[in-house]
């Protein structure tokens, strides 16, 4: 299948252990397209990033580390803004008085240089759009504006409002979710923040509630949960069955999650596309609840959500083939037509190309030694 797009190169922002990036690189190679990764987490201790200009020549930016080397003389057709990891200052070589300044400059340097490769490329998703869409309150506001139903919500650090909301919602449960997921490391164990029901008796002191804002929502009784993966105008929905009734991600961690194909109502599909347009993104994964009464309730959208697990559970979704076709097509209104011999995740995952790219990705600096 190689040879289809020999002049096309896709830049992928990624991190170590990112199996999505490795699988997509392997699939792109199968389709004849080239790819290049950029690991921002290697900077600055294991990576240099330079921008230069000489009169009479175009500006040039280069990225160099032990494993990757590219510059802006190389043309990128598509940039997949998959994952970035914030660099950390090399504290051992920086005087304590200078560490705050150096940390600020390092972070600013990556945000300054990240847009430069691929300035004329098709971005999945754009940097500004990604940041805007990765905001749960912006998402909820946008969902209402395109006609979706959302749960009754209070997002605040006001203790009296939180307590009043829980009382007013009773006897229906209330759930708490953070503005962004977080992982704690305690005694060599990782604790992950999930959506969880909360009662007034569960609440900490008012001082602590005031110190940390959160999102509190009415718990929605569900007939089924949906995961809708959207790339351009191609929408794939699956129904999720999970023993954990509060957050299906808990069941996925325990390998207890199952999924089946789901026919999305046409009106809901149009609302999904309207939401994507309002947020300015071309890829996203939307979570819905369908109530026993058949009402669709929007929960959230992940602008760079995981999707290979969907194909792993429901092979006929063929999301890997669709997504790599999307990157190659460079079309915000992309629709996918299944080819005669589509690439399948199960085949790519067992291929030498996948093992090759995963090995390359994992050679980069892991978070644990930064």
H or E element at residue 75: none
| CATH superfamily to which 224-303 belongs | ATP-grasp fold, B domain (3.30.470.20)
**What's the confidence (pLDDT) of residue 369?**
39
pLDDT along the chain (370 residues), means of 10: 72 95 97 94 92 95 89 91 87 89 92 93 98 97 99 98 97 93 74 82 96 96 96 98 62 70 97 99 98 97 96 98 98 97 96 94 66
**Taking CA 338 as the corner, what is the angle to CA 334 and CA 341, rounded to the nearest 5 degrees?**
135
**What's the confidence (pLDDT) of residue 368?**
44
Nearest to 78 by CA among 128, 145, 12, 138: 12
**What's the confidence (pLDDT) of residue 194?**
73
CB 283 within 8 A of CB 124: yes
**What's the confidence (pLDDT) of residue 187?**
76
H or E element at residue 346: helix 345-349
**What's the confidence (pLDDT) of residue 186?**
76
Nearest to 349 by CA among 319, 312, 304: 312
**What's the confidence (pLDDT) of residue 254?**
43
**What's the confidence (pLDDT) of residue 92?**
84
Residues of the chain with CATH 3.30.470.20: 224-303
Beta bridge partners of 62: 50, 71
Q: How many angstroms separate the CA atoms of 18 and 358, rounded?
A: 8
Place of tokens 């449960």: 173
Q: How many angstroms separate the CA atoms of 25 and 19, rounded?
A: 10
**What's the confidence (pLDDT) of residue 363?**
86
Dihedral angle, C-alpha 122, 124, 126, 127, nearest 10 °: -130
Nearest to 75 by CA among 123, 25, 120: 120
**What's the confidence (pLDDT) of residue 180?**
85
């Amino acid at each position: 299948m190689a040879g289809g797009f020999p002049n096309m190169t896709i830049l992928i922002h990624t991190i170590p252990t990112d199996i999505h990036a490795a699988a997509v690189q392997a699939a792109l190679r199968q389709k004849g397209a080239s790819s290049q990764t950029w690991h921002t987490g290697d900077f600055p201790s294991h990576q240099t990033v330079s921008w230069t200009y000489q009169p009479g020549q175009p500006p040039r930016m280069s990225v160099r580390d032990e494993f990757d080397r590219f510059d802006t003389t190389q043309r990128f057709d598509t940039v997949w803004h998959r994952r970035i990891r914030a660099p950390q200052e090399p504290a051992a070589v920086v005087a304590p008085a200078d560490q705050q300044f150096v940390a600020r400059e390092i972070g600013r340097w990556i945000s300054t240089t990240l847009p430069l490769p691929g300035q004329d490329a098709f971005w999945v998703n754009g940097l500004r759009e990604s940041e805007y869409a990765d905001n749960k309150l912006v998402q909820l506001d946008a969902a209402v504006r395109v006609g979706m139903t959302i749960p009754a919500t209070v997002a605040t650090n006001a203790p009296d409002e939180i307590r009043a909301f829980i009382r007013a919602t009773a006897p229906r449960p209330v759930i708490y979710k953070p503005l962004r997921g977080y992982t704690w490391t305690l005694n060599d164990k990782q604790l992950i923040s999930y959506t969880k029901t909360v009662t007034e008796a569960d609440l900490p002191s008012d001082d602590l509630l005031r110190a940390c804002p959160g999102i509190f929502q009415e718990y929605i009784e569900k007939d089924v949960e949906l995961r809708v993966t959207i790339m351009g105008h191609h929408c794939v929905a699956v129904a999720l069955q999970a023993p954990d009734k509060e957050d299906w991600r808990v069941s996925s961690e325990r390998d207890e999650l199952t999924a089946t194909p789901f026919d999305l109502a046409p009106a809901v599909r149009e609302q999904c596309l309207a939401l994507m347009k309002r947020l300015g993104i071309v890829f996203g994964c939307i979570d819905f609840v369908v109530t026993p009464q058949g009402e669709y309730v929007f929960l959230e959208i992940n602008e760079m959500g995981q999707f290979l697990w969907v194909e792993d559970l429901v092979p006929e979704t063929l999301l890997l083939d669709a997504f790599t076709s999307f990157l190659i097509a460079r079309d915000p209104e992309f629709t996918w037509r299944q080819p005669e011999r589509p690439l399948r995740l199960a085949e790519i995952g067992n291929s030498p190309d996948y093992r090759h790219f995963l090995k390359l990705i994992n050679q980069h600096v892991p978070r644990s030694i930064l």
